[in-house]
């Protein structure tokens, strides 16, 4: 499963997080007009090659596709589950790890996208250590980039981090309109990219962006990943990897 495919799954399950963030930022303050900006390079997150963790992800994926709560419960820590949300631990310590995971993703709600989100997490091959939780690794991993350069970019463009994402691969085609048959106006490298709100009804399969050259165009919705993705976290429990926490807002209940 490629990073691009995983991004597509998560983008679908999370209701296209990048455009939603851009729309939210626009509602909070007037959005600065598109203009050329200095590209900040990103390094795609690396794959986690631990064989035991790969096996766990496979088991999670199987349980998620079957919507098998009993099988999934065996893959979650019994106690100590954390839910980092709004700068606090929102986990209910009186409940089991599975009950807390179910709450984060709304697994008991038949209309929730939680099981699909879990499938996407299981298929994501990346993971990185969690700064706030010793021994935990979380996925999807964030890309590497120069944070000082990105901060300078935000100041120079008078924008918010919610207005930016990053390319998941190089050579992404930017189309003049939201259609695969539209002319290609530019190709993107591996760098941060400005996400622009849609000004008129368009295709849900495409995202409106501004390139470093200041051009407005459209890319496939799975081509740009947002910063600050929700993450699922894995920890060692009695020597075996298990789901041990969640970082983010979770699925609306």
Partner residues linked to 101 by β-bridges = none
Per-residue pLDDT of the chain (253 residues; tens, 9 = 90+): 444 444 444 444 443 344 444 444 444 456 667 899 999 999 988 888 999 999 999 999 999 999 999 999 999 999 999 999 988 999 999 999 999 999 999 999 988 899 999 999 999 999 999 988 999 999 999 899 999 999 999 999 999 998 999 998 999 999 999 999 999 999 999 999 999 988 877 788 999 999 999 999 999 998 998 888 899 999 999 999 999 999 998 765 5
Distance CA 81, CA 71 (A): 17
Check: CATH 2.60.40 for 51-142+231-246?
no
Q: Smallest Cα–Cα separation from 167: which of 106, 222, 233, 228?
A: 222
**Predicted confidence (pLDDT) per residue in 236-245, tens digit:** 999 999 999 9
Cis amide leading into 51 (omega within 30): no
Which residue's entry shows tokens 């106006």? Answer: 185
**Predicted confidence (pLDDT) per residue in 87-117, tens digit:** 899 999 999 999 999 999 999 998 889 999 9
Give the pairing of strands 240-247 and 82-85. Answer: parallel
> Alpha-carbon Rg of the chain, whole angstroms?
19
- Give this prediction's pTM: 0.75
Distance CA 245, CA 253 (A): 18
Task: Please report the pLDDT score of residue 131 as a whole number.
Answer: 85
What phi and psi, each to the nearest 5 degrees, are found at residue 236?
A: -85, 125
**Cα separation values, 245 from 72, 185, 239, 250, Å:** 14, 42, 17, 11
Fold of 32-45+143-226: SH3 type barrels. (2.30.30)
**Cα separation values, 159 from 26, 31, 143, 189, 197, Å:** 10, 7, 20, 21, 13
Task: Please report the pLDDT score of residue 32 as a whole number.
Answer: 67
Task: Please report the pLDDT score of residue 30 as a whole number.
Answer: 60
Question: For the chain, where do the domains classified as CATH 3.10.450 start and end?
Answer: 51-142+231-246
Which two three-digit tokens encode residue 102? 């179910």
Distance CA 227, CA 219 (A): 17
Question: For the chain, where do the domains classified as CATH 2.30.30.40 start and end?
Answer: 32-45+143-226
Task: Please report the pLDDT score of residue 229 as a whole number.
Answer: 83
């Amino acid at each position: 499963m490629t990073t691009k495919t995983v991004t597509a799954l998560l983008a679908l399950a999370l209701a296209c997080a990048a455009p939603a963030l851009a729309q939210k930022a626009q509602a909070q303050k007037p959005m600065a007009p598109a203009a050329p900006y200095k590209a900040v390079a990103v390094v795609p997150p690396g794959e986690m090659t631990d064989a035991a963790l790969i096996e766990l992800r496979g088991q999670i994926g199987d349980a998620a596709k079957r919507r098998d709560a009993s099988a999934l419960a065996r893959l979650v820590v019994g106690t100590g589950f954390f839910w980092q949300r709004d700068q606090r631990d929102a986990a209910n310590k009186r409940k089991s790890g599975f009950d807390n995971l179910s709450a984060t993703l709304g697994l008991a709600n038949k209309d929730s996208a939680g099981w699909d989100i879990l499938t996407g997490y299981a298929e994501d091959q990346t993971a990185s250590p969690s700064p706030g939780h010793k021994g935990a690794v979380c996925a999807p991993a964030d890309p590497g980039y120069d944070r000082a350069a990105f901060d300078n970019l935000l100041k120079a463009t008078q924008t918010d981090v919610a207005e930016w994402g990053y390319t998941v691969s190089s050579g992404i085609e930017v189309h003049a309109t939201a259609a695969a048959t539209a002319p290609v106006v530019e190709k993107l490298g591996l760098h941060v990219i400005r996400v622009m709100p849609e000004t008129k009804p368009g295709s849900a399969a495409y995202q409106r962006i501004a390139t470093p050259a200041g051009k407005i165009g459209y890319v496939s919705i799975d081509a740009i990943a947002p910063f600050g993705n929700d993450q699922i976290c894995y920890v060692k429990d009695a020597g075996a990897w298990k789901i041990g926490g969640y970082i983010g807002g979770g699925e609306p209940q």
